[in-house]
Structure 1
Amino acid sequence: MGQQLHASVVAVTGGMGSGKSSVSAYLCEIGGAQGLNADTICRQLLEPEASGWLAVRQAFGGRFFLPDHSIDRPLLRQVLFADQEFRRELNALLHPLVRKVISGCIAAELERNPPARPRFVVEVPLLYEAHWEHDFSPVVVTYADATTCLRRIMQRDRINEAEAEKGLAAQMPLPHKALLADHVIDNSGPWSDTCLQILHLRELLW
C-alpha cells in the first residue's frame, strides 16, 4: 500500500478473544486516528450482490446461500473452521477484495486532504496468515493467554469450549504472532492495565 508514504497506517492484529477491537478502538480514540476493520469490510463484501457475495456464488454455487439469497454465515463459519482447504480457497477470494477496500479508503482520505498525514488504525485479524505484514508499519499484536481467549470466545459467541478451540486452531498461534510484532499489548489482565499500555504505545507511534 503505497499510500503509507503519506499516511500513518498502523495494523492491529492478534487472535480470537485477544481483544483486538477494544484495543483498536481505544487507540483510535486517544490517537485521533480513523479506524478500519478487515472483518467488517468482509461482512459488507458478503452482502447480497456485493463483490464478495458474487465471488462466493461463482466459486461454490448455492451451497452457502439461504432462500433470501443472503449468505448462511453460521454454515460458512462452521466449514471455514473445519476445512483447511476451503479456508484457503475462500481467503484467496476475499482477501484481495478486502485489501482493495482498505487501500481505497486511505487513498480517498489523502485525496480529500492532501497536505495532511492522516492516521489510520487497521484491524486485521489474519494479517500474518494473509502475509500482509509488509503492508503496514508498525504492526501491533494484542495478546492474551489461551485460557482468557477461550473464555472470551465462549462468552461472546455462546459456543462450547470445543468449538472455541477449533476456532483458535484455525489461526496462527498467538505467541508466534507476538514474536513477529513491532509492539505487543498484553490484554490478559484488567482493562485499566491495557489502557496504560495503549497510552504508552500512542507516545511511541505519534
Structure 2
Amino acid sequence: MRVIGVTGGVGSGKSAVLNYIEAHFDARIIKADDVGHLLMMPGQVCYEPVIQLFGEWIVKEDGSLDRETISKIVFEKKEILEKLNAIIHPAVKKYILREIERSKKEKTEFFFIEAALLIEEKYDEICDELWYIYCEKEVRMERLRHNRGYSDKKIEQMLKNQLSDEEFESKCDFQLYNSEDVAHTYLQIERKMRTYYESM
C-alpha cells in the first residue's frame, strides 16, 4: 500500500482532488480535520483536555464542544492555538497510524492523508510521497468568498498563517496545478496515478 500525503493552502481544492481519487481508485481517504473533530466529541480522547484548556463554558447544552467559538478564539490568540494543536495533532496522528495499519491488512492500494499542517506536523515521516495542490492566490480567494462566505480580511489572515508556495514546493514530491477547469485537474491525477500502477 502506498501512503500519500496531500496538502496545499486554504481554498486550493484539496477536497475536490480527493473526491475524484476516492471515486476512481482503490483508495482510502482520511482528512486530519475530520479526525480532529471526531476526537473532540464527548467520550473521545481530546474532549476533556480541550475543556481543561478553555473551561466548562465551551461545552454546549448537548455536551458537544462549541467549535465555532473555539475557532474564533484561536484565530485571534496564537498562544491558545499552539496549546490546542499540542492536544489535537499528536492524537490525530496516532489515530491515522492505526488506520494505515488497518488499511494495509485490508489490502487497500492507496491511503491518502489530507492535512493543512502536513509538513509542519512531519507527516512525511509516515508517507511514501507528498502531493502539493497548487492554486493561484486570486482563484483561492474567490473560492473562499463564494463557497465559504469569508471576508477578505479573514482570508488574508488565513493565507498569512500558512506556508509560502516555495516552502510547499520544496517539501513535496509532486505538484498538482488546480487553478484551471476540473478536466485539467483530473487529467493530472490520472497521469500521476498511472505512474504508480506502472511501477507496481
- Checking the alignment, whether the CA contact within 8 Å between 2:103 and 2:111 is kept in structure 1 is no
* Counterpart for residue 3 of structure 1: none
Deviation at 1:30, TM superposition (A): 2.7
Q: What does 1:100-139 correspond to in 2, within 5 Å?
A: 100-111=94-105, 113=106, 116=107, 118-139=109-130
Is the partner of 2:128 in helix, strand or coil? Answer: coil
Post-superposition Cα deviations, 1:91-135, rounded to whole Å, max 9, x if no partner, equal: 111011111111111212333x4xx46321111221012222222
- Checking the alignment, whether the CA contact within 8 Å between 1:12 and 1:123 is kept in structure 2 is yes
RMSD of aligned C-alpha atoms? Answer: 1.7
The alignment covers a number of residue pairs equal to 197
Deviation at 1:62, TM superposition (A): 2.3
* Counterpart for residue 74 of structure 1: 68
Q: Taking structure 1 as reference, are residues 202 and 128 closer, same or farther at Cα in structure 2, changes over 3 Å only?
A: same
1:154 aligns with 2:140: no
Structure 1 residues not aligned, in runs of 5+: 1-6
Q: Please, which of 174, 179, 182 is the counterpart of residue 188 of structure 1?
A: 179
Specify the code of the residue in structure 1 equivalent to 2:194.
Answer: E
Percentage of matched positions with identical amino acids: 27
Q: Distance in 1 between matches of 2:165 and 2:49?
A: 30
For normalisation by structure 1, the TM-score amounts to 0.87
**Bigger mean CA offset, 85-94 vs 171-180:** 171-180
* Counterpart for residue 155 of structure 2: 164
Runs of 4+ residues deviating >6 angstroms: none
Q: Distance in 2 between matches of 1:121 and 1:147?
A: 27
**Bigger mean CA offset, 131-140 vs 10-19:** 131-140
Q: Distance in 2 between matches of 1:46 and 1:117?
A: 28
- Checking the alignment, whether the CA contact within 8 Å between 2:10 and 2:140 is kept in structure 1 is yes
* Counterpart for residue 90 of structure 1: 84
Q: Distance in 2 between matches of 1:158 and 1:48?
A: 29
Deviation at 1:176, TM superposition (A): 2.0
1:62 aligns with 2:53: no
Specify the code of the residue in structure 2 equivalent to 1:75.
Answer: T
Specify the code of the residue in structure 2 equivalent to 1:18.
Answer: S
Q: Distance in 2 between matches of 1:80 and 1:189?
A: 33
**Bigger mean CA offset, 169-178 vs 183-192:** 169-178
Q: What does 1:5-20 correspond to in 2, within 5 Å?
A: 7-20=1-14
Q: Distance in 1 between matches of 2:108 and 2:69?
A: 42
* Counterpart for residue 20 of structure 2: 26
Q: Distance in 1 between matches of 2:78 and 2:122?
A: 17
- Checking the alignment, whether the CA contact within 8 Å between 1:10 and 1:120 is kept in structure 2 is yes
